[in-house]
Amino acid sequence: MYEDKQAWYYAFVRRDIEPLLPANAPRVLEVGCGGGGTLAWLKESGRAQWTAGVELSPEAAAVARTRVDQVHCGDADELLVNFPEDSFDLILCLDVLEHLVDPWATLGKIQALLRPGGRIIASLPNVRHHSVVLPLLFGGRWEYQEAGIMDRTHLRFFSRQGIASLISRAGLREIRALPTYRWGSWDKWKDLATLGLLRGLLAFQYLVLAERPGELERRPA
């Protein structure tokens, strides 16, 4: 169905976000929606009533249009203006922000599309993971790869603290952050055994839930 070499990525459904999902989010936007699998899942499960996506790949966007109510294909920064402010209950930015030249500015634009009290779920890789830090510390190696934290297409890198700062600078209030671990690794059990003290080195990625404050909270004193 896809000509893209990363077809598996575009077709993937991000069920790992389920612990952070609101029970009901009538209008959902996904920035970097791929083939629309996650949005279709949200609608089929009754969590969303209307869905929209922004996707850079024409091949993936063509597939997304078969299962998503509205899809715009192209650069996110240029296309976000097509949506009215205060119009979404939930916005997904999954493995997207690290690919952007200015994710701070883009997240600010995304925040403005949320209704007061609306939420964002984002996932970002953790640059403090031991697979990055230890080769740099002991071998002086900073080597890009085809996928993962050191993906060649990643333009920005974030630690847990950097993620918190990114969220805050966009005018959002962080509610929850979940560490995720490499499939098949012992990192999760190492994290439990060390009571979270080494989490910055063991978490491969963070899933973050953030909220746009209500109008009364945003109003200047």
pTM for the model stands at 0.89
Confidence of residue 203 (pLDDT cuts 50, 70, 90): very high
Confidence of residue 192 (pLDDT cuts 50, 70, 90): confident
User: What is the residue-wise DSSP string for the chain?
Assistant: ---STTHHHHH---GGGGGG--S--SEEEEET-TTSHHHHHHHHTTS-SEEEEEES-HHHHHHHTTTSSEEEES-HHHHGGGS-TT-EEEEEEES-GGGSS-HHHHHHHHHHTEEEEEEEEEEEEBTTSHHHHHHHHHH-----BSSSTTBTT----B-HHHHHHHHHHTT-EEEEEEEE--TT-SHHHHHHHTTTTTHHHH-SEEEEEEEPPPHHHHS--
Average pLDDT on 85-97 reads 96
Position 219 pLDDT exceeds 80: no
pLDDT digits (tens, 9 = 90+) for 126-140: 999 999 999 988 998
